[in-house]
Structure 1
């Protein structure tokens, strides 16, 4: 996180925290914070990668903050039922990297923290991620390697929740109706066939969504949809366009996210999302 942005968040944080506390008291229900990562695959954090030590520190911040970490679908159901505990949080990963199932998930499992991994189903057929194309072949087959079908099944049997991240990770708002449906439906079916259980959650690639995409997700059979628009989820937020923030490397930034200090960036998130990914 840039120093200037962090400085603004530091000023905003007390106000955001007070607003959250007052709203929870007046309305009688609490909001849901969604946080996410991509891969946990090294000693240092850089871009999509999170260092293992940094990841452990992130989880320590959640514990010190008093987070009540819930399974994603349960958390969303309780949000609408008005039965969420205070400081409810759900944890997510995008893409389907092997480092999630072989490094992050064991750490989370040992701490008793439920997690959802949103998988690009095309990796089951050998798809490699476009944004890793500039990396060396050794790196792509090593720390940047997508998880295999067997690894996903084994992790799911241990309790890792799996959701859809489409078939090929396209910018969904740019697709025609037929391709949009194909990306959403085919990914869900492929993952359900692999896991032998329903898949009802989807994370929109690069956070790309609009009302048409959201309607297509509903029609495709999803009940939970995740964006990358930052902020607390309350019962006025549509369950197919839930807000989520990815965790920066500095644990202090995660504390700001949990307290709602970076919510002021949500208009920027929506503005940036109009152009699609750079790759």
Structure 2
């Protein structure tokens, strides 16, 4: 038993959808066969409940998730998942269900809900949560923004509960975007947040923005996925990054992480920004990593890994996401 969970994120299972968010059915079948042989696939809701209660999970526990509620999940993924009796969770936009051509219908959702599938919140309509709206040329205030965003999220939760009879209060952030203020407010309202930066989860994780490993598109390669499936949640005690939203002034020039280092080989820790190895220095259980002078627009991340001292071949993994708006303060797709 172990205090560790890896969450996989998929979108499309098809060869006819955008390559960046798709995995071919044959490749998806390869993933599932590997999981069946080497891992324990667990229900996301049960796993999160166990971790929050301080209970251990089976070693090499993995949860499977999908974002957006596409109909090819039912057509191409669901039969494969049923073959292994794997539970999984789909984060849906209720306003799109039964309306958009490539989406599931509510009848299909209700049928799948009887077949080892849970459904959770991905907002009503997949909006950029961090974007501000303008009314009569005036930018909405922070209070107006939060009211609008929370209404959207709560309405989506209500629609799911009305259709399915339950409310998980799980929210997958569209585009993986969030800021600390929103995440903390959602946590106060009883929600658990799921993002799109990578890494494993443990009982000490930030449950307002849990990491998930993308496993489609350029991340579908089974050999690189094996390393991620074998990862351990890095026990970060403190960080100097208080919000993932990159500001023009006053944003830190380094990432500082304080970790519980008993089982980490600190000297072998490496950190990569957008895949590029970064300069770092370590002092006991503190690592300091250089951040870029200029961040790219949109979404980026710093991934840090360190080998375990006691579990051969396994790496602790931490990911810090960053979100940068364009000159008009709009976060791009």
Task: State TM-score, norm by structure 1.
Answer: 0.76
> Larger relative CO (CA 8 A, sep 6+): 1 or 2?
1
1:123 is paired with a residue of what secondary structure?
coil
Equivalent pair of 2:131/2:331 in contact (CA under 8 Å): no
The superposition leaves residues 189-227 of structure 1 with CA deviations (integer Å, 9 ceiling, x where unpaired) of 0111111222321111111112222133234442x3211
1:179, 1:43 → 2: CA distance? Answer: 35
Residues 1:87 and 2:56 are matched in the alignment: no
The superposition leaves residues 229-271 of structure 1 with CA deviations (integer Å, 9 ceiling, x where unpaired) of 211112221222111111022111211211239x955526645
Aligned residues: CA RMSD: 2.5
Aligned partner of 1:253 in structure 2 is 224
| Bigger strand fraction | 2
For the pair shown, the structure with the greater C-alpha radius of gyration is 2
Aligned partner of 1:273 in structure 2 is 323
Equivalent pair of 2:130/2:331 in contact (CA under 8 Å): no
Aligned partner of 1:131 in structure 2 is none
Q: How many residues align?
A: 234
Residues 1:226 and 2:194 are matched in the alignment: yes
1:231, 1:241 → 2: CA distance? Answer: 11
Equivalent pair of 1:105/1:160 in contact (CA under 8 Å): no
Residues 1:30 and 2:80 are matched in the alignment: no
Aligned partner of 2:120 in structure 1 is 163
1:225, 1:122 → 2: CA distance? Answer: 20
The superposition leaves residues 100-138 of structure 1 with CA deviations (integer Å, 9 ceiling, x where unpaired) of 122212211221111000001111362x4xxxxxxxxxx
Structure 1 stretches of at least 4 aligned residues deviating more than 6 Å after TM superposition = none
Q: Please list every run of 5 or more consecutive structure 1 residues that lacks an aligned counterpart in the other structure.
A: 1-27, 129-140
Residues 1:178 and 2:154 are matched in the alignment: no
Equivalent pair of 1:92/1:117 in contact (CA under 8 Å): yes
Aligned partner of 2:24 in structure 1 is 51
Equivalent pair of 1:38/1:48 in contact (CA under 8 Å): yes
Aligned partner of 2:306 in structure 1 is none
Equivalent pair of 1:44/1:51 in contact (CA under 8 Å): no
Aligned partner of 2:178 in structure 1 is 209
2:231, 2:209 → 1: CA distance? Answer: 18
Aligned partner of 2:44 in structure 1 is 72
Aligned partner of 2:81 in structure 1 is 108
Q: Please list every run of 5 or more consecutive structure 2 residues that lacks an aligned counterpart in the other structure.
A: 133-144, 235-270, 273-300, 304-318
* Structure 1 residues 168 and 45: alpha-carbon distance in aligned structure 2, compared to 1, 3 A threshold: closer
* Structure 1 residues 43 and 204: alpha-carbon distance in aligned structure 2, compared to 1, 3 A threshold: closer
How far the C-alpha of 1:179 sits from its partner, in A, is 1.3
1:267 is paired with a residue of what secondary structure?
strand
